[in-house]
Amino acid sequence: MRLLLGMILLVWTACSEPADNSGRPAGAPVSLAKTPAEPSPKPSVAFDTDYLMGRFDPAKHPDFALVAASFASREGMYLRKDTYEAFQRMHEAAKHDGINLLIISATRNFDYQKGLWEAKWTGRKQVDGQDLSKTIPDPKKRALKILEYSAMPGASRHHWGTDIDLNSLEDEHFLTGEGKKVYGWLVANAPAFGFCQPYSAGRTTGYHEEKWHWSYTPVAAQLTQLAAEKLQDRMITGFAGAEAAPAIRVVENYVLGINPECN
């Protein structure tokens, strides 16, 4: 009788414990889902269209921090605190691998972006060796030329405090030598820290590829979704050349024309 009970108990135990063919050591925990690099942070000030369009001073915003000179090419740059903390973790990991990451551009609010845009629009700053105010008089065509690499004020991801330009603004820098190593490291490792390249190769709309431009997805994806819901071309105003925004469909083609992996 004892032998029979023992055999029944052995069969019941074998049936109640499914086989584990995963190769894990016995008793190892099982992951039920992928955990993102960082949970989506909650802003202390709610996002709205003014935030989307950079109509605030990052130096006075409670969610922003001054970037330390050791991480930047110049003083006076700001990032969202969540983005800055993630960048510092990424910077440390890159340094461990012999890679130096240097922020050369961070948050640019509406007024800052307006200065950059209008310098190119009026010819104060040449584009590809041209004074566009003379060589491209048509507003839509001139705007499209500037939009190859520069955003309209009110329509730039750099307004958000989630986006950074790293090391160089020249594509050639990242094709050889140290620049190629930096870009290769970012492609392989930046996603683990929440960063994505929004202007990647192969897109059919938007800006040219920017190997230097990286976006903190846990926050930027929220803002991209808000832009899709709330931002309209008619809202892109207040600077020279703004009249071209609706014809270009700047929100659809530029604000939302990003690498789908960044959504």
Domain boundaries, the chain: 44-262
* pLDDT at residue 60 is higher than 50: yes
pLDDT bin (cut points 50, 70, 90) of residue 42 is confident
Residues 169-180: pLDDT tens digits?
999 999 999 999
At residue 247, the pLDDT reads: 98
What is the side-by-side strand order in the sheet with 103-105?
103-105, 163-166, 213-216, 195-196
CATH class of residue range 44-262: alpha beta
* pLDDT at residue 118 is higher than 70: yes
- What average pLDDT score do residues 87-114 get? 99
At residue 195, the pLDDT reads: 99
* pLDDT at residue 7 is higher than 50: no
At residue 39, the pLDDT reads: 57
Rounded to an integer, what distance in angstroms lies between the CA atom of residue 219 and that of residue 55? Answer: 18
User: Which one, of 256, 247, 233, lies nearest residue 143 by Cα?
Assistant: 247
Min mean pLDDT across 34-38, 167-171, 183-187 is at 34-38
Q: What value, to the nearest 5°, has the Cα angle with vertex 125 and ends 100 and 168? A: 10
pLDDT averaged over the chain?
89
Min mean pLDDT across 44-48, 113-117, 241-245 is at 44-48
Rounded to an integer, what distance in angstroms lies between the CA atom of residue 211 and that of residue 173? Answer: 9
Percent with pLDDT over 90 in the chain: 83
Min mean pLDDT across 7-11, 198-202, 203-207, 224-228 is at 7-11
- What average pLDDT score do residues 116-136 get? 98
At residue 38, the pLDDT reads: 55
At residue 140, the pLDDT reads: 98
At residue 111, the pLDDT reads: 98
- Which tokens belong to 86? 């993630």
- At a CB cut-off of 8 Å and minimum separation 6, what does 196 contact? 190, 214, 215, 217, 220, 259, 261, 262
